[in-house]
Amino acid sequence: MKGIRGRITFTYMILIVVTLLISGVYILQFIERVYMENLKKTLIDEAKIVANWVSPYMVTPDSSLPFLAEVSTTVNSSTGKRITVYDRNGKSLYDTHPGSVEESAVKPEVQEALNRRIGSETRLDSAKGSNSLFVAVPIVDGETVQGAVRVGIPLNPVYKELGNLWVSVGISLLAVAVISSVVGMYFASGIARPIEEITRVTRQIARGAFTERVRYRSQDELGVLGESVNLMADRISDQFEDLTQEKSKLEGIIASMESGVMVVDRSGRIQVVNQATKNLLSHSGRSLLGQWHWEVGRSYGLSSMIDEVLVTGDSQRKEITLMSPADTSVELYATPIKGKNDSIVGAVVVLHDVSKWRRVEQMRTEFVANVSHELRTPITAVKGFAETLLDGALEHPDMRRQFIKIIYEESDRLSRLVNDLLELSRIESGHVVMQFEPCEINELVRTTVDKLVHQAGQNGLVLESHPAGQPVYAEVARDRVSQVLINLIGNAIAYTPEGGRIDVTVEDGVDQVIVRVKDTGIGIPQDDLPRLFERFYRVDKARARRSGGTGLGLAIVKHIVEAHKGKVWVDSYPGRGSTFSFTLPKRQGDE
């Protein structure tokens, strides 16, 4: 009875039953009344007939008694009713039910008849032993009342008949009730079915099944309701689709961002975090969603900043250094997320790794310091010796020659330094136009080596080239590659003690040529290898300066090789020598 269907059926049935009961009772009462009145009327008519018949005999009642008896018995036998004839005093002259105890008092209905009126009464008939209806009429002769005739009928058969009527009416009403209930249930289901369908569909939609639709179609209010629900579902579905798309777009943007993004809720739990944040905080393999921000932040600065934003609602910007990975400088920008009434519901933190820029800045500062330092040494020497000459050394031919030689050497060094610096900056800035042309590498190596064999010999060294078994062609800027070889072989000559040897080998690879410059020199400690190709980096500063190096040779090598899309590296052991190798792609753009 909880659903609409039950309620409609129940109400309908109650309505039917109550209506049928009230109308049934009313109809039955009406029938009963009409029936009783008809009965009474019949009895009165019968009594009047008897009264007419017996009227002439009432003058001498005693002599007419047999006739009275005959009339009464005839009427009684034909109607089954009790007939009683009374004289003018109310004394019973004849009764169709002899043996019955005659009442002493005059009955009210008889009294009425003796008073020239029609009397009637329903009461227990002592003669019949059941309720009876009595009707009495006067026997008149002209103006005088001669007596009265009373007709009585037992009501039991009447009651029985009426009872039967009640039963049949009751059965009819029950049948009507059953039929109406069936019709009512059908009617209820007609109303309830669409309501139930609409309810089911709205419930499904509320649970997220936006494809569900009401299939009930009609012109009535329920049809309109169903249509509205469908329209609403369309709207929600479209909006949900839009939202999903927006969300995935946003997720895509956040995921692909190079900067770290982290969103925390009011309580400090992480709601959104991208891979860049995880990488930055060294949590690559972990899911950080739902964790507290202070558990994953590798720096007190990060947590305190988020807390401050959540409390004050003001955006914050600062740079912190993470504890792990060490020396990582991160620029943080945290801003609050505001909800209704400007309440703070969370915070967004953007993390930007600025370590690279910090290193670049540091390198720039170091570079300026290095350049100044490198320039100062020869300038000081030139200035010092020139002063000494001016102060009088010019007068001494030996000293003069020696000092001017030093001044020449230092200015030469200065010039090389400036040239190297210029060269490097031109290569770095991309201003050097490299003329790539097909070139046979064995030949290029041999030509360059030949130029330096004499210099090597002067230093007591053997310099040899070892070409590949067959010609090897690569597209290179000939002069630049030659420069690379000159720098590498020049270093090998400078850092290999007398009696050593230098071998320059060409190896033919699948896609590339490998050129190696191997010496038996002093070697380089492992710790210095990673920084060897940096500008001005020298392993042994005093020795390098004595060798006349500028500290820029390997930096230039690296730049030229990389401009050819090749690689350069070194294998070296202190005391055993070094091997510098570089590759050149056989065709440009292959590597």
Give me the residues that bind ligand ADP (CB under 6 A), please.
Answer: 487, 491-492, 495, 519, 521-522, 524, 532, 537-540, 544, 549-555, 578
Render the burial of 44-81: b for 16+ CB within 10 Å, e for the rest.
bebbbebbebbbebbeebeebeeebbebbeebbeeeeb
Q: What is the DSSP string of 240-261?
A: HHHHHHHHHHHHHHHHH-SSEE
The amino acid at residue 111 is Q
Q: Which residue has the tokens 């915070």?
A: 347
The smaller minimum CB distance to ligand ADP, of residues 512 and 578, is found at: 578
Structure tokens at 507: 């190896």
For residue 149, the number of C-alpha atoms closer than 13 Å in the C-beta half-sphere is 28
The smaller minimum CB distance to ligand ADP, of residues 61 and 521, is found at: 521
Instruction: Give 419's DSSP letter.
Output: H
- In the complex, the smallest distance separating the C-beta of residue 383 from ligand ADP, rounded to whole angstroms, is 23
The smaller minimum CB distance to ligand ADP, of residues 137 and 524, is found at: 524
The smaller minimum CB distance to ligand ADP, of residues 95 and 420, is found at: 420
Query: What is the C-alpha separation between 478 and 590, in angstroms, rounded?
Result: 18
The smaller minimum CB distance to ligand ADP, of residues 116 and 541, is found at: 541
For residue 247, the number of C-alpha atoms closer than 13 Å in the C-beta half-sphere is 7
Q: What is the DSSP string of 146-199?
A: EEEEEEEEESHHHHHHHHHHHHHHHHHHHHHHHHHHHHHHHHHHHHHHHHHHHH
- In the complex, the smallest distance separating the C-beta of residue 379 from ligand ADP, rounded to whole angstroms, is 18
- In the complex, the smallest distance separating the C-beta of residue 532 from ligand ADP, rounded to whole angstroms, is 5
Q: Which residue has the tokens 């039955």?
A: 28
Structure tokens at 568: 């350069």
- φ, ψ of residue 497 to 5 degrees: the values are -65, 160
At 552 the three-state DSSP class reads coil
The smaller minimum CB distance to ligand ADP, of residues 270 and 524, is found at: 524
The smaller minimum CB distance to ligand ADP, of residues 229 and 488, is found at: 488
Query: What is the C-alpha separation between 550 and 495, in angstroms, rounded?
Result: 14
- In the complex, the smallest distance separating the C-beta of residue 434 from ligand ADP, rounded to whole angstroms, is 21
- In the complex, the smallest distance separating the C-beta of residue 432 from ligand ADP, rounded to whole angstroms, is 18
The smaller minimum CB distance to ligand ADP, of residues 36 and 375, is found at: 375
- In the complex, the smallest distance separating the C-beta of residue 376 from ligand ADP, rounded to whole angstroms, is 17
Shortest-Cβ-distance residue relative to ligand ADP? 549
- In the complex, the smallest distance separating the C-beta of residue 515 from ligand ADP, rounded to whole angstroms, is 14
The smaller minimum CB distance to ligand ADP, of residues 135 and 539, is found at: 539
Q: What is the DSSP string of 472-536?
A: -EEEEEHHHHHHHHHHHHHHHHHTS-TT-EEEEEEEE-SSEEEEEEEE-S----GGGGGGTTSTT
The smaller minimum CB distance to ligand ADP, of residues 119 and 553, is found at: 553
- φ, ψ of residue 446 to 5 degrees: the values are -60, -45
The amino acid at residue 173 is L
- In the complex, the smallest distance separating the C-beta of residue 431 from ligand ADP, rounded to whole angstroms, is 21
- In the complex, the smallest distance separating the C-beta of residue 405 from ligand ADP, rounded to whole angstroms, is 21
Query: What is the C-alpha separation between 557 and 480, in angstroms, rounded?
Result: 9
- In the complex, the smallest distance separating the C-beta of residue 579 from ligand ADP, rounded to whole angstroms, is 9
- In the complex, the smallest distance separating the C-beta of residue 578 from ligand ADP, rounded to whole angstroms, is 4
The smaller minimum CB distance to ligand ADP, of residues 173 and 522, is found at: 522
